[in-house]
């Protein structure tokens, strides 16, 4: 029987359909760099509900609102369909039309959130699993600054109260990790939509990529991936006992 916590993994996929990739400037490496590589392994915790996106965030980002359309001039990696990545590179040779964007939302975005909706009434808590660059990238507010090992996002305490947030903070700190709250990321559409609408508490966990991969080559450190998976699983089991 699955325990009453749902894990969402929105950004691990690198899949881009051929007809969309042909319209992109980006290389395979660029596409991988923009994904949360290996988070599907790190957050693959047995006996919990899990929903995973199977399309690159560059095609359609499930952690953005479906009406969050990025303009061509914006130098940030926001928007449901990204036009400029976080390194400041134009994604598309020719921007997708409104019709193309709506088709992607209907095909990919809706399917991801429908799957969460199908399970959210079975759980008491939600975890949104991500990874982050070790140093703030070009288009972010913390550009050039070192980032903590773990960033916990609770949408400024609107998706998760102080008590639960403190549990996760102390659990990671006790393992020797540096932990920040809501900086550089406080959580986005996944938490905002499901936690607020369904009144289910939830937290976003961002793991610093330097902990489990080579950020230059994107090669994994498999031992560290297994360790993080084990550690998060153990924390999750303790948390599940707390809320049951």
The reported pLDDT for the residue numbered 89 is: 83
pLDDT at 77 over 70: no
pLDDT at 171 over 70: yes
The residue assigned the tokens 């639960």 is 164
**Could you tell me whether strands 202-208 and 150-153 are parallel, antiparallel, or unpaired per DSSP bridges?**
antiparallel
The residue assigned the tokens 């915790």 is 45
Alpha carbon 142 to its chain's center: 18
The reported pLDDT for the residue numbered 86 is: 79
Q: What is the DSSP letter of 218?
A: -
The reported pLDDT for the residue numbered 217 is: 98
pLDDT digits (tens, 9 = 90+) for 42-65: 999 999 999 999 999 999 999 999
* 8 Å CB contact between 161 and 201: yes
pTM recorded for the entire structure: 0.95
Domains of the chain in start order, with CATH, are 3-243 (3.40.630.40)
């Amino acid at each position: 029987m699955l325990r009453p916590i749902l894990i969402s993994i929105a950004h691990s996929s690198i899949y881009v359909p051929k007809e969309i990739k042909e319209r992109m400037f980006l290389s395979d490496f660029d596409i991988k760099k923009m994904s949360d590589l290996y988070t599907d392994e790190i957050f693959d915790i047995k006996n919990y509900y899990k929903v995973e996106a199977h399309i690159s965030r560059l095609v359609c980002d499930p952690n953005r609102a479906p009406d969050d359309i990025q303009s061509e001039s914006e130098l940030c990696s926001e928007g449901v369909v990204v036009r400029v990545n976080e390194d400041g590179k134009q994604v598309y040779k020719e921007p997708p039309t409104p019709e193309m964007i709506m088709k992607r939302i209907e095909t990919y975005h809706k399917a991801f959130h429908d799957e969460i909706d199908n399970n959210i009434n079975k759980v008491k808590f939600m975890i949104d699993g991500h990874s982050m660059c070790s140093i703030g990238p070009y288009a972010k507010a913390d550009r050039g600054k070192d980032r903590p090992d773990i960033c916990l996002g609770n949408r400024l305490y609107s998706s998760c109260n102080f008590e639960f947030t403190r549990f996760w903070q102390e659990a990671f700190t006790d393992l020797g990790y540096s932990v920040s709250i809501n900086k550089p990321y406080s959580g986005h559409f996944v938490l905002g939509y499901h936690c607020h609408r369904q009144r289910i508490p939830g937290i976003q966990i961002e793991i610093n990529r330097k902990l489990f991969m080579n950020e230059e080559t994107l090669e994994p450190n498999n031992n560290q991936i297994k360790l993080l998976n084990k550690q998060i699983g153990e924390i999750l089991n303790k948390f599940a006992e707390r809320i049951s």
